[in-house]
Structure 1
Amino acid sequence: MKRTYSPWVVLSALLTGSALGLMDSTITNVAVPSLIHDLGARVDQILWVGNGYLLGYAALVVTAGRLGDLFGQKRMFMIGVSLFVLSSIACAFAQSAEMFVASRVVQGCSAALFGPQSMAIITHIFPPERRGTAFGVWGSVAGISVAAGPTLGGLTVAAFGWRWVFLINVFIGAIAMVYAAVVVPNVNFGRRPRLDIAGSVLLSLGLFLLVYGLLEGESHHWGPLWGPVTAPMVIVAGVCALVALVALERGRQDREPLLPFSVLRNRNFVLTLGATCGLALAVSSMLFLTLLNLQMSIGMAVAVAGITVATAPAVSVLVSPFSGRLTDKYGGKYVLFVGMLVLAAGLVLLASAEQIGSTWYDMLPGLLTVGIGMGVTFSPPVAMAMGSVPKSMTGVASGCFNMARLAGSLIGSASVGALLQARLAPALTRAATNHANALPPDLRDRFIAGFATASTGDLQTQHLTTEPATQTLANLVLHEGLADAIRWTYTLPVAVLVIGAIAVLGTHSRTKPTDPTPQPTADDTPAASAVSAVAQAAVPASAHDPASTFASPPSPAPAKST
């Protein structure tokens, strides 16, 4: 008889693999200067160091989630980590920028294969009354991994060179594969899997085109990407592919559909996805606007600005486990509602600190509040979304959840950038007009005209005016106009959070999914109720609260090594 492992041991194995993908999403940024020097990469190629990874991830994440439902989450997790290790080796030994970018795309695809499986497996092995705590721990490790990426990457590049940034993945990936092979259960649903090939192609193609258009649109000013093809045309083509997918899947709902409509008709799931998208939009907007303010307005060095902004995720790491416990005890609805409002309040504090003469410590109250909001809002949406769908569909649900988070980040970057640019032009012109009276009359019109197109060009003051006598005043105008534009741009993520918080009130705090499919079975399992006993034994007795139990279908079999 094979050994039974505590769900918390299984969680630690999943976290090892998850940390691999999360850390790699930020660790490569510090290697960019070395890549330019060693591989002769152009600026447009360097942009695809991150974009290539993102595009590969987006194209496969929902399909990969469904593959986990059909062929087993453990199997897809192991395949994904294996491919991630191989693509990391390819990145490390890349001899050209083109080879490196191609390897990064494969890395993104492999991360999409194992990323959604973690959430699905957590949903299987933890009883409902302990999932919030489990997802809270997952959130803390995720925050640590993302925050540690740039620091670990900087130390590695300085000591061993940029190629070792990717060779580290080989060691971590090997540990993750061995650990997962031993302790992660192989949960299945006793069905013969059938993959929807046409649906998979349409979904991946639609997401690829949609994300590609969003990534490339701003850098091409939403104009031609190649020949007569523009970014909006690519986005529309992606939407058309997704519409065709919906039409195809409508006739396949009784034949292992790639996209089960029963999941998308679940009010809790859909509203939680919307809240997740709004949260990702808010966090990405905060990072962009705050870093811009610290560097452009306050004049802080890039590294110091990054450490300052890291205050928020550092605080969220401490708060996230407590949020998970509150979600277990009271349900996620009101915890998420309060967390979104706290996050909105933090953004308001950051916006109010956007003033001429403000310093980094003026930003700290807002950053601390944002960190608390981030920590509070991590666990509830995951627990609510995954707890409201049948366990036979947790893979595709996890893929949709990850796609919603990615979509929020992309939409946030594009919309906040566009709004900032729209606000910056009148703000600079207004500030220049207000200060022009301090100049001789013959310089005033030229001074104001120098800022007329600044929002779409270079913001260096030496390019805004060629008059040496006006440089000091030009710096003042630039900082004042930028602070005003950033302050007003914060209204977008604040409004999204408030609307999202109101929408969350339409969810049910406790959910009971209906699963018409056979209950999951694991290889060589004893009684199906054993997983609950294992999970209860893994938690201190003081943590048990009978009143906090979710209504749920029977638990799957216990976690076993395979």
Structure 2
Amino acid sequence: MRKWSPLVAVCLGTFLLLVDVTVVVVALPDIATSLGAGNDDLQWVLDGYALALAALLLGAGSLADRYGRRLTYLIGVLIFALASLACAFAPSVGLLIAARVVQGVGGAAMFATTAALLNVTYQGRDRGVAFGVWGAVNGAAAAAGPIAGGLLTEHLGWHWIFLVNLPVCALAVWFTVRGVAESKAPWGGRFDVPGTVAFTVAAGAVVYGLISASVDGWTAGSTLGAFVAGLAGFVVFIAVERRSDHPMLDLGLFRRAPFSSLIVAAFLTQAAAFAVMPYTTVWLQQILGHGPVDAGLLGALPMSVASLLVGVLAGRALQRVPARWTVGMGLLLIAAGDLLQTRVSPSSGGDVLIPGLVVVGLGVGVVLPTMASAVLGEVPRERSGMAGGALNAFRQLGFAFGVAVLGTVFGGVYTDGLDTALRIAAGMALLGSVVVLIFCKHTPVAERSVSAPAHA
């Protein structure tokens, strides 16, 4: 059991931070009643966490490489636990939003280090098993959020969607202290403060713009201003990183077509597989009249179970197949699953979503573990935190992008809008598949040397 303690520690944290992206979806009506929150407030309860998570991931990964991945992960878990407690007892919606942002800070420290900790801990067959299980937890957690939120909200109250985090955080700390060895990059040098600030501002502005677009429209002043600020931030970030002796993100990694194509695939996977979930949940509750528990079960459980089974049962075998095929074909499954769900009609029941959700779950179970290990296989081991932070930052940016784009066409709770949103999500998955199949040409991850030069 001691051999798998690091995997348990990492999976506990991963499950928590990804569940909390969507766990509040079905609890929003109760939160509005309890705290007197308006629609804009509720949007920020949902998105404040995602904003901090996306903006800080890359900086957290760079900090972890320099000062210790185990230490960074533990600090992230403790911040997440304290912020969860603050969320549960927030007396106003403003304080709840603030606590959700702090939760995102802790989540970023955790998420930026999870893949890197597995990469430096496990080798050979164990590495394939570890990434298979971790990838399955990724897919299952993102889909399980509405289920957990529905059960806790309906039977115990919305406060418990945050209180339940505390014992899980305690377990994560115990397993980490007991079984995870410290690791860090061997190089010295100062922490890249200008690069970290530039990326945080840029990513934060872009996510804010996407949130604003889904609320105020794509041509609103707040939306356009945020996008301009984000673009300027990314220009500054690139300029700073090109001149830095110790960059937080080595831009030379993007010269490798497999690395770049996998980052694009990560962005599109989150948009295609998960961004439609808030809208299917709304459709199930407000059009079909399901309660929070039923909406969570119908809208997420089939996907969660399928993803978990693929990762657990086939994770190690998938690591021996070139990522070009696993990620590419997995994205095709996600596209097919999205299209299967377009059979929704005003007269259909919630069970019409189940076949498509199962197929999406199969695709997610194939894509996430192999994508993570393939990205880490493209960089030296000492840059694991950097690569893991970049991968997960683009995943969160993809989720925010997908929610904004699909929210524009959803336009409320209407069946036609959900149908259109699902078709767009399928197109995103298809685009990601094409990119990977064309550009991700490398050997199976299990046969690669993880110490290969970053600038091959």
Does the CA-based 8 Å contact 1:128-1:552 persist in structure 2? no
Q: Is the 8 A contact 2:142 2:274 kept in 1?
A: no
- Deviation for aligned residue 1:180: 0.7
C-alpha distance in 1 between matches for 2:70 and 2:243: 30
* Counterpart mapping for 1:16-415 below 5 A: 16-157=12-153, 160-222=156-218, 224=220, 229-252=221-244, 255-288=245-278, 290-291=280-281, 294=284, 300=290, 303-310=293-300, 311-351=302-342, 353-355=343-345, 357-415=347-405
Choose the corresponding residue for 1:550, options 424, 435, 448. 448
Q: 1:59 to 1:330 in 2, by over 3 A?
A: closer
Contact 2:61 2:389 in 1 (8 A): yes
- The Cα shift of 1:133 comes to 2.6
Summarize the Cα distance change of 1:354–1:199 in structure 2 as closer, same or farther, 3 Å threshold.
same
* Matched AA of 1:263: L
Amino acid at match of 2:11: L
**Alignment-mate amino acid for residue 251 of structure 2:** F
Alpha-carbon spacing, 1:73–1:358, altered in 2? closer, same or farther (3 Å): same
Distance in 1 (CA, whole Å) between partners of 2:308 and 2:367 is 12
- What is the number of equivalent residue pairs in this alignment? 450
Residues 1:498 and 2:430 aligned together? yes
- Between the aligned partners of 1:287 and 1:67, the Cα distance in structure 2 is 32
Q: Quick one: which amino acid aligns to residue 117 of structure 2?
A: I
Note if contact 2:112-2:388 (Cα within 8 Å) is conserved in structure 1: yes
CA–CA distance in 2 between the matches of 1:221 and 1:320? 38
Q: Which amino acid letter does the alignment assign opposite residue 244 of structure 1?
A: V
For residues 268-320 of structure 1, what are the alpha-carbon distances to aligned partners after superposition, in whole Å with 9 as ceiling and x for unaligned?
11100111111111113542554465456656555433321221222111112
Alignment of 1:456-475 (within 5 A): none
Q: Is the 8 A contact 1:56 1:105 kept in 2?
A: yes
Deviation sequence 1:532-562 (CA, Å, 0-9, x none): xxxxxxxxxxxxxxxx5434439xxxxxxxx
Q: 1:404 to 1:190 in 2, by over 3 A?
A: closer
Report how far residue 331 of structure 1 moved. 2.8
Tell me by how many angstroms 1:186 deviates: 0.7
> Residue 65 and residue 101 in structure 1: after superposition, are their counterparts in 2 closer, same or farther (change >3 A)?
same
The letter of the residue matching 1:336 is V
Q: Which amino acid aligns with 2:407?
A: G
CA shift at 1:91, angstroms?
Answer: 2.0
Cα distance in structure 1, aligned partners of 2:177 and 2:387:
24
- What whole-Å deviation, never above 9, does each CA across 1:66-85 have from its counterpart, x for those lacking one? 11111111111011111112
Structure 1 letter corresponding to 2:205:
L
CA shift digits 1:88-147 (9 cap, x unpaired): 222233222222211111111111011110111111112255433312201233344444
Instruction: String of CA shifts for 1:50-72, please: whole Å, max 9, x gaps.
Output: 11111111221111011111111
Distance 2:282 2:148 in 1: 23
Question: Quick one: which amino acid aligns to residue 65 of structure 1?
Answer: G
**Which deviations, in whole Å up to 9, do the C-alpha atoms of 1:356-409 show, x marking residues without a partner?**
643444433323222222222221211111111111111111111111111221
* Alpha-carbon distance change, 41 to 103 in structure 1, aligned in 2, over 3 angstroms: same
Distance in 2 (CA, whole Å) between partners of 1:221 and 1:289 is 17
Q: Which residue does the alignment assign to 1:534?
A: none
Q: 1:364 and 1:84, CA in 2 relative to 1: closer, same or farther beyond 3 A?
A: closer
Q: Distance in 2 between matches of 1:302 and 1:162?
A: 11
The letter for the 2-side match of 1:346 is G
- Return the TM-score normalized by structure 2: 0.89
Counterpart code for 1:494: A
Given that 1:128 and 1:387 are in contact with CA atoms closer than 8 Å, whether structure 2 keeps it comes out as no
Letter in 2 for 1:122: L
365-374 or 61-70, larger mean C-alpha shift? 365-374
Distance 2:150 2:214 in 1: 29
Distance 1:494 1:161 in 2: 35
Q: Distance in 2 between matches of 1:5 and 1:193?
A: 34
> Structure 1: how far apart are the matches of 2:184 and 2:401?
36
Aligned match for 1:507, one of 435, 440, 446: 440
Query: What fraction of aligned residue pairs are identical, expressed as a percent?
Result: 31
CA offsets, 1:233-290, max 9 Å, x none? 11111110110111111111xx211221222222211100111111111113542554
Structure 2: how far apart are the matches of 1:151 and 1:335?
28
SS in 2 for 1:330: coil
- 3-state SS of 1:94 partner: coil
Give the secondary structure class of the aligned counterpart of 1:346. helix
Which letter maps to 1:203?
A: F
Tell me how far apart the structure 2 counterparts of residues 489 and 337 of structure 1 sit (CA, whole Å). 22
Q: What letter is aligned with 1:374? A: V
Deviates more, 1:141-150 or 1:494-503: 141-150
Higher helix proportion: 2
Of the structure 1 ranges 493-502 and 81-90, higher mean CA displacement relative to structure 2 is found in 493-502
Separation of aligned partners in 2, 1:501 and 1:391 = 27
Deviation, structure 1 residue 26: 3.1
Residue 525 of structure 1 is matched in structure 2 by none
Q: 1:200, 1:258 within 8 Å by CA — same for their partners in 2?
A: yes
